[in-house]
Each structure stands twice: as C-alpha cells, then as structure tokens.
Structure 1
Amino acid sequence: MANVRLEKINRIYNNVTAIEDISFEVPDGEFWVLLGPSGCGKSTILRTIAGLETATSGNLYINNRLVNEIPARQRDVAMVFQNYALYPHMSVAENLAFGLKMRQIEPQIIQERVHKVARSLSIDRLLNRKPKQLSGGQQQRVALGRAIVREPQVFLLDEPLSNLDAQLRDDTRAELKKLHQRLNITTVYVTHDQTEAMTLADKIVVLDQGKIQQIGDPQTVYAQPKNQMVATFLGNPPMNILPVTYGNSIFWIANQSFNCPLEIQEKINPKDRESFNLGIRPEHIELVTSNVNQQNLQLDSRKSNQALLSVEVDVIEPLGREILVRASLSVSDNSEFSQTVIQFLTPVEIRLKPGDRISIKLDLNHAIVFAPQTGETLYA
C-alpha cells in the first residue's frame, strides 16, 4: 500500500490545457473519488497517475517516490477500465493470471492468488469460461479481480460501473465498498455519478474545466459547497437556484418576497438592489396543503427563517415512495423569473396535476447564497 501525491500537475495538449494546477494527496489506504462532468479532466488525472499520460509540468509521487520518469509497468499500480479490457481469447483464469505471469511469479503462487481472488469476487465457478460467455457484471468482476490479484500499491478505477444496468450497478458498488474495507488498498476512482461518489468516497475531489473546485468528505462537500457548480452537481434532484434581489431586509424574487434571515444579512452585508443566487435543496422545501391557514402561515414565515412562495405545477414525476414535482414561479409576465424551475418532493398521497397553483415553504436555515457572477459561496 502507498500514498499518492500530486503537486501542481498540468497537462497541455496542442496548446489546450486539459488539467491545471492539480494538487492533492491520497493517504495510504484511503478511497478517493474524482468527480465531475464529462471533459473536466478526471480521467486525464487518473491516466497520469497510472503513467499512461505524461504531465506537462508538476511532480507525481507514489509511496513518496517521484515517478515522473518511471514507466507505467514499474509504478506498481493496477487500473480497471470502463470497457473491462479483458483478453477475449483467454479464459477467466488466464485473464486473472496474466499480469502475474508477466512478472514471472511462480505458477503455484499464481494459482493460489487466482483462486483466492476468484472466491472473494464469487467468480470461482467461471474460471474456465471466456469473456464472451459472461454477463457485463461478471466481466466487471473479472476486470477487478485481475487488478486485485497483482496486489498493487495503488488501485485506479476509471468509471468501472458505467456499463452496468441500474440494479447491478448498485450491487457492484456495495461489493466494491466491502472489497476496499477488506483489502485497504489506496484507491483513486473516477466517476461522473454523484451517487457513486457519495457512497464510496473517503474524500471527493470535485473537478470542472480541468481545475479542482473542492476537496472534502462527502457530507461536507454536500452541505457546504465552495461554489454553485459544486452545489448543483451534487444532489439528486439537484439544488434549486433562485435569483433574488435584496432590499430593506427583504429578498425579492419577481413579484414575491420573503424576509432575509438576520444571519445571512450579517454574513454577506448586502446592499439595496444587489442580486444574489439563493440555493435550496428539494428536501428543504415543503408543500403547503390547502387546510393550512395561509394568513397565519404568512405571519409565521415572517418571524422565522422560512419563505412562502406561490408556484405553478409543471410536471409530476412519480418515484414510487414519493413524487418529484417540477414547478415554476407563479408570475403573470414572461420575465426570466417565470422560467425559474423549483423542484421538491411530496408524499404519494398528495394529488397534484400540471397547472395547479400551490404554495410552498422554504426552510432558509438550510439556504446557501452564491455570487451570481462568479458562483462563489457567500453564505452556507
């Protein structure tokens, strides 16, 4: 096992910067996830660690050894690719043993390791089959086994679950977590799936446009995002972003208003007519049912950190145990505010239909305020 340290790594292709000033350290035995949208540079970072890409500048250390000039085969890392990359003419056992044979390990040791890993991944009954005789999930296990059997210092995984169906992806993700807990191998995992990142990672590195946006444990990154990109990328359904204007202790959004909590005012020190983006997650929005006294609720919301808004239902999406509602601000004109989408969840017993005008309550104790131009978090 080993730590992995990147110091100001840059990679430039034909005058185009793929990754810029990438610096972080994965401690020995931890599971780190590189998360971000397609094209953000996460796979380039992983391939640079593996030695399949060469950094334009910066230093890369594995187990405190500078490996910039060391070829991939000598870095003692194992990589699992998105497409599995199994040898089609070899059996499962031969695929598992291939890397060990290349290192001229004794045949008896190879056989012992192969059977041990095959049993741990529940593929011991498949050892004589060829890859074309396996399902996608079985092929993925073989690819994982081929990496594990080498007993590398570092385990690198490039979106290994993306080709699996939803149920198999969930099952394999759980198996991966148990596998890491058992083997305790330093792991760097690339994905654009925020559910994978949240459930697997000790730490998440959020990337966008080749730059690190935030590094932290999953709950911190989710609850205290450094900017609007991180906030909206993490969470399903994603965070709602509402354009608001401040004035005389009030936030205005189109022709509706609500009190700006005192702690937000003290933190961001807003000026009259200054604009902000207010972030609120769907789980912090509640439907106000018709049997609630609207006048009393309006008074209560003025006293507490709550906001009452009128919206129009656009789309209803049943999710089984709950319903996802997509609504827009209920305004009469065709301004930008009428296109502001608000998503929230309701119990299945509540019956709504497109076109309904409803009231929703926002819990501002969980609100996050962003600068509209830069996306920087001003209050969380």
Structure 2
Amino acid sequence: MPKPTDRSPASVELAVSNPAERDLSGSIGRIPYLPWVASALLGSGAAVLLGWVTVGVAVAAGWLTMTRLPPTTVLDTIAQLWLGLHGVPFTVAGLTVGLTPLGLTGLVAVAMAAVARYAAGQREDDGQARIRTAALVAGTCTITYSLLVLLLASLVAPPRQAASAFVGAVAVAGTGSLIGAIRACGVRLPIGLRAALRGTGVGLALLGLGAAVALLIAIVTHTAQIGALQSAVAPDAVGAVLLVVCYLAYAPTLLLWTAAYATGAGFTVGAGTLFTPWVAVGGLVPGLPIAGALPTVPPAQGWVLLLIAPIAGLAAGLAASRRLDRLEPGSSPAERTLVAALSGAGAAAGFLIASWLARGSLGTGRLVGLGPRFPELLVNGGLPIVAGAVVAGLAHAVWRRRRPTLIDDPQLDETAPFGLV
C-alpha cells in the first residue's frame, strides 16, 4: 500500500513594490569621466579663472574707449576688482571702494557649487559614507580655490589684501562647495531640518520678491531724476554697457538696501543721510543714475512696505509646517510650531548676514557707512520674520488638528503598497 508522504508546500516569498519607487534593476552604474580629485582641482581652478575673466572682459571693454591708459593700469584695475568680489576693499582710479559686488560673489559661489556637485558625482558611496564624501569633496574644493586665490592675490596685491582675499575665498568657496556636495551625494538631513530649510528658502524668496517690487516702483516713480543723472553722466555705448554691468554686479546690494528700507530700519548713503518709510534726509550721494531713485520725501503709503517682512515670515512658517506634515504626518503641533520657528529664524539670519555684507564705503570722506542700519535692522527686520513664522506654524497646527488627516484614507496614502488598497 502506498505510504503517506510529507508534502508540505514550500514557502513562497512575495514582494510588493511601491509605484513611487524608482526601478533600479536596469540602471547602469555611473562611469566617472575624471577622478573626483582631478575634477575638484581643475574645477576650482576654472572658478578662479571665471571670476578673473568676468572682471577682465568688463574692464577691457572700457579700455577700448580709453586706450591712452597703460596696460599695467588696466591689469591693476582687473586685479583690484577681482579682489573686491572676495569682500576685499579695492581701489579704482584712486577711489577706495568698500562695497562688495555681491552679484559677482554669488556667481563664483554658484560656480563652486557646480564644481563640487560634479566632483562628488564621480564617487559612489552609500549610507554614512555620503556624509564623509560630501565633507571631503567640499573641503578639497574649498582648500584648492582658497590657496589659488591666495597665490594669485599675493602676486598682484599687498599682503593685507591677499590675506583678506583668502578669508573671503574660504567663505565663498566653502558655502558653494558644501551646498553642491551635499546635494550631489544625496545626504539625508533630519526631517525637521529639511522642512525648516524649505521654509527658509520660501521666506527669503518672498522677501527678495517684495524688495524687487518696491525697488521697481521707486525706479518707475523717479524716472525724471534718473534720466537727469543719466544725461549728466552722458555715457557712450561702451559706457552704457559698463553701467549695466555695474548694476548687475550690485543688484543684490540694491535689493538688500530696499529690503532694509521696507522693514523700517532704513539705510544710509553717507554721513548725515537717512532713508526710512518715515524719514528722507538726503545729502551727498554717489553720482550714479540709480541714485535718482532715492526718495526726496517719505512715501504717502510707506506703512504698506512694513508688511513685507511679516508676510515673508508667514510664508516661511507655513511652507515649513506643510513640508513637515508631508514628511512626517504624525508630527505634533509643538513640532510643527518649532520647525516653523526654525525656518523663520533661518530666513531672518540669512537676511541679516547678507545685509551686513551689503554695507561698505566709497572713499574715506562723507560716503562712509553706506547700507542698512545696524542694530536697528536686528529688531525691525529679524523679529517680524520670526514672529510671522511662529504665527503661521501655530495656525497650521491648529488647522491640522481640527481637520481629518488625509493619510487615514487608504485611497490617498501614497506610501501604501500598490495593489493593497
């Protein structure tokens, strides 16, 4: 007779995929075109060259209309302007300029971010190694760029300027390289920090947009004054192009001055001057056509400008709280409020630091101490942004507490496995 046998079914492993996940089964490993070290070294050198060439093209264009100047003077002007983009007071035509062309500085920082991103992309690391890779790549790019700047500055400038250029190069290259390396390596920051950074970016963007609108209104309403100064300067075609380049180089500075004006702290353009929504005390101002946009009397509806900073804070707090709600749906109201407050503090800190960098002088006479007023800006600019972010975080937390959580509905749960809802 047949004997019974054990026919227990073999275990079968089933796996369910999420349609939101990327299919990596057919992906091909990244093939590096250059070793990451070579990419960092060559890219950092190219960034140094970018700053030098950008300044050199503008100066060379101006030289075409003044060919009587000796080439040594032109090269010295290029060197001084190149030092200036690293935050070093520079001398042009006998005038010492202490205002940093933040537009050129930002261009170099973006270039260093691209260099670090490309260099980090030549390595493939997983897990905790990504943080180490990001730090290694950013450090290599920063050190290379800074040493090249120090070497070149030592050849074309006095030791004091060379040392200041090295410090500025470390700050510019370090900031750009770190951002680029972190993004390239896919470093996963804590959820709360990611949400706060999103809010910080939104707040700064809205603050910049408000300042841009206010500056545009000032230019449109003072076209006659600007035109008169333009006629007095009477630049030729090349001079007009150089004037536009100058405006672009100092566009971030103009926006920061306008933002400081909108907060109520105001700014000065020399000794004895003050411009706020309530006060307009003029005096000796720079002889640029854009100076015609300075108000001669306080605007009638100047109080409207005071809404820009709180609205930027509200936007920052709301964006951070909503981002945290998506990344961690179970977060408590206290966590949402805290993240919103951090986003507001980040936006305020970024604005205050940039405003401090936008200060400077033109010469050593009356045009000193130009830029946003401190410590007034700490109160008028920082507190409204932080307060607005906290209010937005609290409001969003209360609203989410009273509103049914969408994630409880399986039809709206994007994290649920495909086919199980």
TM-score per shorter chain, which class? Answer: under 0.3
Larger radius of gyration: 2
Bigger RCO of structures 1 and 2 (CA < 8 A, at least 6 apart): 2
Q: Give the number of the structure whose residues are more often helix, by fraction.
A: 2
Higher percent of residues as strand: 1
